[in-house]
Amino acid sequence: MSQSTIQLKGINQSFFLGKSQQKDVLHDIDLKINPEDFILIVGGNGTGKSTLQQIISGSLQPTSGQILKDDKVVTKESVQKRAEWIGRVFQDPKEGTAGRLTIAENLALAAKRGQKRHLTKANTKEKDFVRLLKTLDLGLEQRLTTDVNFLSGGQRQALTLLMATLVKPELLLLDEHTAALDPKTSEMVLAITDKIIKENRLTALMITHNLTDALKYGNRLVMLQSGRITLDLDRNEKEKMTVTDLMAQFNEPVVV
């Protein structure tokens, strides 16, 4: 699948619009996502990071503004339609997999991105699945018939990553996908994430609260505060930053 340029123009998001409890979450967001960008998004709780990803994925319609895929306006495109070109990995390892299905069956479903989902001809892909699972170096290639419910959180999240990228997405959205894991497992899953993105030359947006990870991974860093982009660093600018420098830009508590 060819890579597209994704643009967000003037995105605003409010909840309970026009009511006394109106909450304005995003304000005039302009963001250009170039092919092969790996953007780390940082910000405190409630700054709109997950809301931004929901809008990009189509699971939430913005109050105003546009989303463009190359020159095509896709703001009103359904979440199902966008799932044909967007891969997602959530914070909860259980969200991206079907626990009662085997590893092979989960991969067979992932291989049907953009098609009608069914489990036929899974056996014909078994060799491909073994080859792909070996790249994770977790021994999952020996457990194709194991129900996913029996995997650890780290194994399940690594499998979810593989599923989200099995059919190369034009955009990969990672919503704090290591936050529910212990530090060692989180580090392992992040290394796998980085490897998959680089080897497949993917375009990705990753939300994190960890500033060390934000500086270590990706080629761009975007900071959201109070629903606004307050910082957008390219690779060169990012490499010059320290965690202390980055913390100085924050008005809210963060993790280092």
DSSP characters over 93-121: TTTTS-TTSBHHHHHHHHTTTTS----TT
Does 119 reside within a domain? Answer: no
Q: Does 60 map to a domain?
A: yes
The predicted model gives 75-92 an average pLDDT of 95
Statement: residue 1 has pLDDT above 70: no
Q: Edge-to-edge strands of the sheet including 204-207? A: 86-89, 171-175, 204-207, 38-42, 220-225, 228-233
For residues 13-24, give the mean pLDDT.
Answer: 92
Tell me the percentage of the chain whose pLDDT exceeds 70.
93
Mean pLDDT calculated for residue range 94-116: 87
Q: What size, in residues, is the chain?
A: 256
Question: Is 124 inside a domain boundary?
Answer: no
Asked whether residue 239 is assigned to any structural domain, the reply reads yes
- What does the alpha-carbon distance between residue 87 and residue 137 come to, in Å, rounded to a whole number? 22
Count how many domains the chain has.
1
Residue 77 lies in a domain: yes
Give the contacts of 249 (CB within 8 A, at least 6 positions apart).
Answer: 223, 230, 231
What amino acid is encoded at 71 in this protein?
D
Rounded CA-CA distance 41/53 in Å is 10
pLDDT computed for residue 117 by the predictor: 46
Q: Is residue 160 part of a domain?
A: no
CATH code for the domain in which residue 74 is found: 3.40.50.300
Q: Directed axis angle between helix 153-166 and helix 103-110, to 10°?
A: 30
Are the C-beta atoms of 59 and 79 separated by less than 8 Å? yes
CB atoms within 10 A of CB 127: 9
Does the residue 237 lie in any domain?
yes
Range of the domain at 239: 6-85+169-248
The average pLDDT across 153-162 equals 95
Residue 90 domain-assigned (yes or no): no
Report, as an integer, the average pLDDT of 33-62: 95
Expressed in percent and rounded to 5, the helix, strand and coil fractions of the chain are: 35, 25, 40
Confidence of residue 255 (pLDDT cuts 50, 70, 90): low
